[in-house]
Amino acid sequence: MKLSKYGSLIKGGIIEQLQFRTSAILVVVCNLLYLLLIYFLWKAIYASAGTDVVNGMTFSDTMIYLVFASALFNFMEMWIAWNMGSDIRDGRIIIDLLRPIPYPLYLFCALSGNCIVKFVTTFMPTAVVVYFVVGGEIHLGWNILWFVLSASISLVINYFINLFVGTICMYTESIWGINIMKEVVVGILSGATIPLVFFPDTIRTIVMYLPFQAIINSPLELLLHTEYSLGQIGEIIGLQVVWLIVIGLLCNAFFNLSVRRITVNGG
């Protein structure tokens, strides 16, 4: 049966992820340190601003946005480009390329298993803690549904961006450099570092036309802005879907083109 093939790959990913408990704790602790830092920074920033609401965001809105941004960022981090890079260097990638399933699909199934575990172990606790800490400032309603829908699309867009970067590693010997550049670009342009509403107008307009905002900013906007009409919601999710298709096609084309010229050292 076709489905069971993917099912067992996902299961494998789940089991694999459950093995790395200590590194999961480390991610949570590091994340807490990061959140502590931005909490104090934004508190100081808002204290100097003089008003409570800046560009339509209160201090707690900003914190909810940034906490969820970092939770999403961590939850979606797949280390694809790192793993692909080292698999290419030592030739192990050939085993995965020879499998009777397209490599991008194979990788996606295996990694979605990891993501399911990370969703339950890191994302859910964060969401629950934040909900109680901000004292019900997160509206519980249809926005949760839109958020989940939008975040699932984000996950796939992020996967394709990662795969694209991983494919670049086939051409360069560099893994660290390429990855760090990707993290910088995605971190800033997705809104994960600073909410996009604080960007100057012209820059924000440009950033909104780029695919990166669809990863973090779109789901968070749907979560925080309960006043959006169905038309606005449709627009945001529609744009995400368009990016998903465009990047998916682009990434597949680039991968298929590159895989033909790959040279693997032994393996």
Q: Is 147 helix (H, G, I), strand (E, B) or coil?
A: helix
105 binds another protein (CB under 8 A): no
**Residue whose CB is less far from another protein, 15 or 32:** 32
Q: Which is nearer to another protein, 143 or 167 (CB)?
A: 167
Place of tokens 């249809």: 142
- C-beta of 40 vs 142, nearer to another protein: 40
Q: Specify whether the CB–CB gap between 159 and 111 falls below 8 A.
A: yes
Taking CB under 8 A as the criterion, the residue among 178, 215, 223, 237 binding another protein is 178
From 115-123, 124-132, 179-187, 226-234, give the range in contact with another protein by CB under 8 A. 179-187
Question: How far separated are the first and last CA of the chain, in Å rounded?
Answer: 31
Among 184, 210, 249, 262, binds another protein (CB under 8 A): 184
Residue choice 174, 226, 232, 256 for contact with another protein (CB under 8 A): 174
Helix, strand and coil content of the chain, in percent to the nearest 5, comes to 80, 0, 20
Report the nearest approach of another protein to the CB of residue 40 (Å): 5
Q: Which is nearer to another protein, 42 or 106 (CB)?
A: 42
User: At its nearest, how many Å lie between another protein and the CB of residue 159?
Assistant: 22
Nearest distance in Å: CB 33, another protein: 5
**By the rule CB under 8 A, 210 interacts with another protein:** no
Residue 133 makes contact with another protein by CB under 8 A: no
- Compare residues 93 and 178 and give the one whose CB is closer to another protein: 178
List 8, 55, 205, 232, residue binding another protein (CB under 8 A): 55
Instruction: For residues 28 and 244, give the distance between their C-alpha atoms in angstroms, rounded to a whole number.
Output: 29
Q: Minimum Å distance from CB 193 to another protein? A: 5
Q: According to CB under 8 A, which one of 14, 134, 194, 241 is a site residue for another protein?
A: 194
Regarding 176 and contact with another protein (CB under 8 A), the answer is yes
Applying CB under 8 A, the residues found at the interface with another protein are 22, 26, 29-30, 33-34, 37, 40-41, 43-50, 54-55, 172-181, 184-185, 187-188, 193-194, 198-200, 203
